[in-house]
Amino acid sequence: MSAVSLDRAHGPDAPAEGLLTMLAAVAICVLAAGYGRGVHELWHRRGAGGILPAWRVGAFGAGVLVVVAADHGPVHALAESSFAGHMTQHMLLLLVAGPLLAAGAAGLPLSLAAPSPLRRLLARCRAAPPVRRLRRPTAYALLAGAAQIVALWFWHLPGPYVAAVDRPVVHYAEHLCLLGAAWLFWAPVLGATRRRPPAPVTVLLLVGTMLPASALGAVLTFAPEPVYPVRVLGSDPLTDQQLAGLLMWAPMDVVVLVGALTVFLRWLLRMARDRPDVPLPAPVAAPKAVEAGSEGMLR
């Protein structure tokens, strides 16, 4: 175990970290309970699977489980001892938990589960002109993509990353920020169909967000020396940093490219279905005089 792990396990922040862990567990339980209550009320009104299919409910539940797995158990223990382990946590939040939670389309269930005063306040906020403009699918997608890029780069700069390693409060803020950015980013891609931007915009969003992430992964992978203080890296600092860069670079490129290709192919198939090709006209018969002349020439 590295020195940073020992410091965090036995330092003065250990009680604070235990309290934050308990608060995070309570927040996750409240989120899951609110979603479940909203789904129950929605299905009670419209029948099981109405409005919100069962697969979306399952995706949301799986996303909650991934969040718990990323912050506890073997993954958390690995993150305590290496930068690569910490990056594994980040990729689970960005590429697994975020898309699953977004696929759960939680907006309507959570609104139904909210108390009436809060529900009315949310309705007034959604009706405000600035919010209506931001909720347009294309504007929302661009804003979510920018938030994803800013969150990814900010929390992997040396200063914020070291602060997250040293302070439990900052560490939980880091994970909450990355998870929230991923949830917002994947909502236009996997959320409710009516809230999705046009397919070309979605493809550009995915590819445009992938490129800055790939650049950051490349910087970490090919840096000739550690970018971060050695004390927050593993036993072999440069190798640990390079492995973390690869863990960011390769999985994110694969997931985003698969998503962009899927959206593009579905767009082409939808165009082919909605605008089928016009059947070709029947060939025009040659005039008899021309046919007779042609037969004479052949003789």
Question: pLDDT at position 183, please?
Answer: 92
Question: pLDDT at position 3, please?
Answer: 41
Can you tell me the distance from the alpha carbon of 158 to that of 269, in angstroms, rounded to the nearest whole number? 45
- pLDDT averaged over consecutive 10-residue blocks of the chain (299 residues)? 42 64 84 88 78 88 91 82 89 92 87 81 80 79 89 92 88 91 89 79 87 89 90 87 90 89 86 63 48 44
Can you tell me the distance from the alpha carbon of 17 to that of 9, in angstroms, rounded to the nearest whole number? 9
Question: pLDDT at position 297, please?
Answer: 40
In which residue are the tokens 């934050």 written?
20
Give me the amino acid identity at 1. M
User: How many Cβ atoms sit within 10 Å of the Cβ of residue 169?
Assistant: 14
User: What's the token pair of residue 31?
Assistant: 């989120």
Question: pLDDT at position 93, please?
Answer: 92
Buried b (16+ CB within 10 A) or exposed e, 228-245: beeebbbeebeebbbbbb
Q: Nearest to residue 27, comparing CAs of 182, 190, 184, 172?
A: 172
Going by C-beta distance under 8 Å and a sequence separation of 6 or more, which residues neighbour residue 241?
83, 220, 223, 226, 227, 228, 233
Domain boundaries, the chain: 3-276
